[in-house]
Amino acid sequence: MSVGPEVFGEDYLHFYATWLTDEVSDRQADLVWRLLGLDAGDDVLDLACGHGRIARRLAGRGARVTGLDADPYFLELARAAGAGVDYLQGDMRELPWDEPRFDAVVLWFTAFGYFDDATNAGVLRGIRRVLRSPGRLLIDLNHLPFVLARFQRQDWVRRGSDVVLDAFEWLPARSVMRTQRTYVRGGEVREISYDVRMYMPAELRELLLGAGFARVDLLGQSGEPLTGDDRRLFAVAHT
């Protein structure tokens, strides 16, 4: 299964950066701040921080932010934007800390689920290990019941003469969404395939409790209690 630069990186940002406007990023950072109950001076880890659009906005509000990502291209862009964030290249499966040092961790924009169940659980245990008590973890995912109720086998995004095409296959026995992605950019074609393990809300709660969290709140896209009409699922886990 491909993760990291193969799935994300330069091609990904070429097509999706036009949607991730300053207005969208400002609104999402506001929501992250509110859901995590952050205060100026809090130590925050933005895990799978990408090109730093959320991390730098949290830092701008006074949080002490560390951003960790596996993609060197994303990190180059993040560092160039400045904003006082400490950016590190690394793997969420092997966090480079052995002791509690963060008040909050955020996994934003469907950055969780790219490994098998045992590894995904290990990622959550690693996050729990680096969180102080009291501490909070915020995970933002597609809401699986919403996705399945409106399932489409294909999707595409166009930017000028460039196109990215996605073909989706739902694997119910494993609760996995398989994506075959085709980039057509600058006259060249690149194909990748990747799987995402998708969790029902109650299943995600049990996974978080099993990783050592004491309480999990399941919320919808506005930050209110989750409903079947919510496109996004926010899980706020407390130590």
- What pLDDT score was predicted for residue 82? 85
pLDDT score, position 3? 54
Where do the domains of the chain lie? 4-142+200-238, 146-194
Which amino acid is residue 95, in one-letter code? L
* 166-208: pLDDT as tens digits: 999 999 999 999 999 999 999 999 999 999 999 999 999 999 9
Confidence of residue 61 (pLDDT cuts 50, 70, 90): very high
* Tokens found for residue 134: 């009291």
Tokens of 4: 């990291």
Cα separation, 195 vs 175, whole angstroms: 10
- Residue 223 tokens read as 């930050």
- Rounded CA-CA distance 105/102 in Å is 7
Fold (topology level) of 4-142+200-238: Rossmann fold (3.40.50)
Task: Give the C-alpha separation, 125 to 117, whole Å.
Answer: 12
Q: Which residue has the tokens 């407390």?
A: 238
